[in-house]
Amino acid sequence: MKITQIITHHLTHKLEKPFESASMRFTSRDHLLLEIHCDNGLIGWGECLGNRIVNDAFIQAMTPLLIGKNALDIEPIWLMLYNTFRDQGQRGATINAISGIDIALWDLAGKFHQCPTYQLMGGAFRTRIPAYATGGFRIIGEDRIESLVKEISGYKKQGFEAVKIKIGFGVNLDVAAIKAVRQCLGENIELMIDANHGYDHIDAARVANQVADCDILWFEEPVVPEALSSYNKLRTTQPIPLAGGETWHSRWGINEALKQNTVDILQPDVCGVGGLSEARKILTLCDIYGVRCVPHVWGTSIALAASLHFHAIIPPSPPSPGSGSPRFEFDQTHNPFRSSIVTVPFELDNGHLNVPDGHGLGIEIIREELAKFAPQQ
């Protein structure tokens, strides 16, 4: 099954209501998809996390190396691409591009063998994943507390049993927001906070200690991802479990972070950590270092599908009756690409998402929708 062509698709959608995290402002939703064609007619789909223009440049640079290769040689292809670019590309867009290619190859493998991708990766521990709502970004031009509580009330009515909100907008405002959200949710809905590396370790500790009575499940990306020593300091200066990893790349980057005792919960993103191949290896690191794996998810239906297959193969840790499934991050911000580009959109089912059971990733792309959202020249 030889690779004959690789095609990238840029998607963009302007937001009526821009929103922001502590690290960036969103005025549009932008994503890069890719399809790999083979000489037997099969097509595999992948997606890259991050800047679509930069990622596409790396895909174009890698394409000549892939033409003619056997698409089932997933591990040899991964190593060949990484080794070719490793001197200047051990993290960032290089790994994002490899991630998208790797996901597409796993999609192709499932289609070739006529089974779900998770089956080829060793089998599923679960095929229904409990979801949590990601939202709580700051809406430009609206009162922070009022708009946040209104949004979170909606997630509560939808039946979500866990919610994550964005912070990093100032210690006092964040503390007030977290307390207001906890009051809105009541005691039985889990609450997580995500600073998108908006603090140094001093202010992160100030926030965490002031909301210690709000029963926070985890504190995500409190500091910049390079500051591994700051993560380590926060383990002893505040009481909330720390989470991170969406911007750590490959098994080597993850290993260094875990070796320095940075987080309690690791959050690799399959579209940015190195694809499904690398994500599977990182599960072994989680076992060795004794951290939970609760993946980060951000993107289109392709990212959702690939992430669901990854969630399916995460082993219970420990393997006991009391070990539950890691929750699936179900982004609730406005994004038409979550539903419009596939024939069967992902929908919440009694608080859960179902892992696709078709061949490969188990999704069918609507090409007309891709064309509709292509950037205008």
Tell me which residues are annotated as active site: 296
Rounded CA-CA distance 128/361 in Å is 15
**59, 43 Cβ separation under 8 angstroms:** no
**239, 212 Cβ separation under 8 angstroms:** yes
What letter would DSSP give residue 187?
A: S
Contacts of 86 (CB under 8 A, 6+ apart): none
Rounded CA-CA distance 304/299 in Å is 7
Burial class (CB in 10 A: 0-12, 13-18, 19+), 264: middle
Burial class (CB in 10 A: 0-12, 13-18, 19+), 241: middle
Structure tokens given for 93: 């867009």
Rounded CA-CA distance 228/257 in Å is 6
Residues in the chain: 377
Residue 318: cis peptide before it, omega within 30 degrees of 0: yes
Using alpha carbons, select from 138, 124, 129 the residue that is nearest to residue 354: 129
Q: E-assigned strands of 307-359?
A: 328-331, 352-354
Rounded CA-CA distance 212/210 in Å is 6
Half-sphere exposure of residue 122: CA atoms within 13 angstroms, side-chain side: 13
Side chain identity at 315, as an amino acid letter? P
Burial class (CB in 10 A: 0-12, 13-18, 19+), 90: middle
Rounded CA-CA distance 138/144 in Å is 6
Rounded CA-CA distance 49/300 in Å is 10
